[in-house]
Chain A
Amino acid sequence: MWNRVAALVLKEFLALLKDPRSRTVIIVPPLLQLLVFGYAATFDLNDIPYAVYNEDPGQPSRDLLARFASSDNFRLVETVARESDIGPLIDRRRVLLVLHVRRTFSRDLYRGGSGELQVLLDGRNSNTALVALGYVQIVVNGFNTEWAASHGQREPPAHLVTRAWFNPNLESRWFIVPGIAALLTLVVTLLVTALSVARERENGTFDQLLVAPYRPWEILIGKSVPGFVIGLGEASVIILAAVFWFQVPLVGSLVALYGGLVVFLFCVIGVGLMVSSLAVTQQQGLLGAFLFLVPAIILSGFATPIADMPPAVQRLTLINPMRYIVEIVRRVFLEGATVSDLSGQLWPMAVIGVVTLTAATWLFRHRMQ
């Protein structure tokens, strides 16, 4: 019996890999995506174009602005002489922000008060604006500390000593790249399994398969194995690239990582086979895959944190296997999580896997009769 299943698996692999274009499509684009997205998908800003409108002739304002000019994160685009020039600069997206120092800035400072620095930001992407504002605050804090020290002012009674655990330099890339491992595994595996039955239906070879002496579950195994092997293989390549190319630290246990990936792949294959048994054409298969893929990615915490979603949506994410694998991959990579740390993620995913695989088997039998 296992020989028969093995033959079926071999046939599925051949169907998928014999066409050189299908072969390329499974291997090359995910790796290109990893490279491009690994570099592109970051919330960090390292090149904030800004303009200066300085009405104050005093030394302190020049010192403050020199700090911005010498910062690696900021790039001075223009010095403005009139207030009316500010509007067009921001409107036309030539700068992300304008620093406006008022005439009384130095005078207020020398009198022991606060000099006001007005920051005008382009809020078209409000997240970028907030991040940029945070960078401005850091530069200003540096200035404030030095000013207080050099002018004999009393230090504030308490100061913050801030540290970040697991990602000390707060690099977005460390957060995004492990997430991409989960993302691409999901996309490739789902498409391979979701379109497999529909392709045979369209070509008419599915009927031949049905009259062959195979039981439904044997056909299902034949359809599952290629997606599983390709998904796991691709995940491994991405993990290697994350560690050796992007230098993301992998501090946790590989057992936890692969345990999570295997359980996750069962969930994805279950969903893929469900779609596969319902879809008559490949286009329907693709629609079904997309209807799962898009919400699964958006509600996974891959790009935007689950904690920022409304409570009802947060509860909805609990049935999304992608949510758990993204957390597992990140925690294994950065926090050094082990299997026991991740049991809270592993068992819900296992439940989802059992449910989707059972549903897929039932649907498959049902549709065959």
Chain B
Amino acid sequence: MMSRRADTAAPRGGSLMRLRGLVRKEFLQVVRDKSSIGIAFLLPTVLLLLFGYGVSLDAKHVPIAIVVQQPSADTARLVGVFQGSEYFDPSVMLSTREAVAAMEQGRVKAIVHVRANFADRLRADPGAPIQVIVNGVDANTARLIQGYVQGAWQSWLAATARADGLILPPAVDVQHRIWFNPGVRSRDFLVPGLIPLVMVLIGALLTALVMAREWERGTMESLLVTPVTIREILVGKLAAYFSLGLGGMLLSVFMATWLFGVPLRGSFWVLLLASSLFLVVALGMGLLISTVARNQFVASQVAILSTYLPTFILSGFIFDIGSMPKPIQVITYAIPARYFVSILQTVFLAGDVWPVILPNMLALLAMAVVLLGLTRLRLKKRLQ
């Protein structure tokens, strides 16, 4: 009775106290279940180490077969160019049969075939063909290999022309400069791209699970019959998992910059602000999933399929959004990670480019508002 009266007399102070109690409860829950800490810190560390050390899209030392049926000075120069390139790991073979067998067994990724009459046709009019066969199963790597072979062929042409005293300039010479990542290190975009994955795991997956468990055990209902309001429950949950998610994010940023030497060209505070926004969105998704799904199994499946995998594939983290079919591009607008990945790639590699950062942040803000509003609505409905 006393507390009731105090509550009506000073609703603000009472609300704050209740909130403090709720936040404390949530934190204790997190600290006591080691798997929460595991999802928040162990998983990001494993992910970052794997991506940082293990994953790369830079094909180097590609094993190829060079079939030379009749060695000559010209073919020796060709083989020399391939041997001197860091992109290739060539083995010279004498017959096509040997090379085809190697390709079928997956020992080489491409065959460069120089015919027996190479030397004769070399200085005749249409020129001698150099046959190149790549294994096209991995189309991306195959395309890179084709580009490297082309480069090797051009250096060979230049060397041959010099040896023959000829000058053979191509009509157009392409000079390229790759901004923001001149060394073309794929690690520099893969490692920052992991931050949304880590935060989605904590924000959406963990939150969805914890809430679903409370529904399953009925502790949610007992919370709801106490004088706490729905808003307070939501804020309590958000506060606990927000700090956990931010911890995971800081850990990821620290490892990216210190361990893997990814440059952070923009400001840390912009990064922090964007991450906080994204985290609120992720938490909103987690809360919404848990109110829709009644049990942990369903919640976990929905969380993985609707948050984790789209963050991996539809966010522009690895795959270019502009090249996806139009209907899929429309779907990507509903994936919050899309906006966050764009901010991250810009803040890490390009700097504080506000025309990119601002619209993306606004989109995240709008999503946060919508998701939290929906969760509140669903919670209210469930109670009636």
Contacts and interface: CB of A to CB of B under 8 A. Distances in A.
B370 to A, nearest CB: 21
A125 B213 CA distance: 39
Contact of A36 (B134, B136, B295, B331): B331
A157 B186 contact: no
B165 interface: no
Q: Which among B128, B153, B309 has the greatest number of chain A C-beta atoms within 10 A?
A: B309
B319 A299 contact: no
A131 B356 CA distance: 23
Contacts of B218: none
Nearest to A317: B54
B356 A281 contact: no
Interface stretch (A165-173, A216-224, A232-240, A255-263): A165-173
Interface string B75-87: 0000000000000
A116 interface: yes
A133 B146 CA distance: 12
Interface residues of B, number: 119
Contact of A281 (B35, B201, B323): B35
A49 interface: yes
B243 to A, nearest CB: 18
A147 B170 CA distance: 9
B293 A21 contact: yes
B234 to A, nearest CB: 20
A241 interface: no
A126 B305 contact: no
Interface stretch (B17-25, B175-183, B376-384): B175-183
Contact of A157 (B56, B103, B122, B210): B122
A127 interface: yes
Contacts of A286: 35, 205, 209, 296, 300
A108 B50 CA distance: 49
B324 interface: yes
A196 B180 CA distance: 48
A131 B143 contact: yes
Interface stretch (B252-260, B268-276, B347-355): B347-355
A69 to B, nearest CB: 16
Contact of A118 (B35, B47, B55, B176): B176
A161 B129 contact: yes
B346 interface: yes
B300 A282 contact: yes
A212 to B, nearest CB: 23
A58 interface: no
A42 interface: yes
B57 A161 contact: no
Given A25-B302, A160-B132, A165-B135, 14 more contacts: A26-B301, A36-B310, A40-B328, A114-B170, A125-B316, A133-B178, A137-B150, A137-B174, A154-B168, A158-B156, A166-B137, A298-B51, A305-B138, A307-B63
22 contacts: A30-B305, A33-B309, A43-B143, A114-B172, A118-B176, A123-B178, A124-B181, A124-B189, A131-B140, A133-B147, A136-B174, A143-B172, A147-B172, A157-B123, A158-B156, A159-B130, A162-B149, A166-B136, A281-B35, A282-B300, A305-B59, A308-B141
**Which 8 A-B pairs give the minimum distances between C-beta atoms?**
A167-B136, A164-B136, A123-B181, A43-B140, A147-B171, A123-B178, A29-B305, A114-B173
Interface of A: 19, 21-22, 25-26, 29-30, 32-33, 36-37, 39-49, 60, 64, 88, 90-93, 96, 109, 112-131, 133-134, 136-137, 140-141, 143-144, 147-148, 154-168, 170-172, 174-175, 187, 191, 195, 199, 202, 281-284, 286-287, 290-291, 294-295, 298-299, 303-305, 307-310, 313, 316, 330-331, 334-335, 341
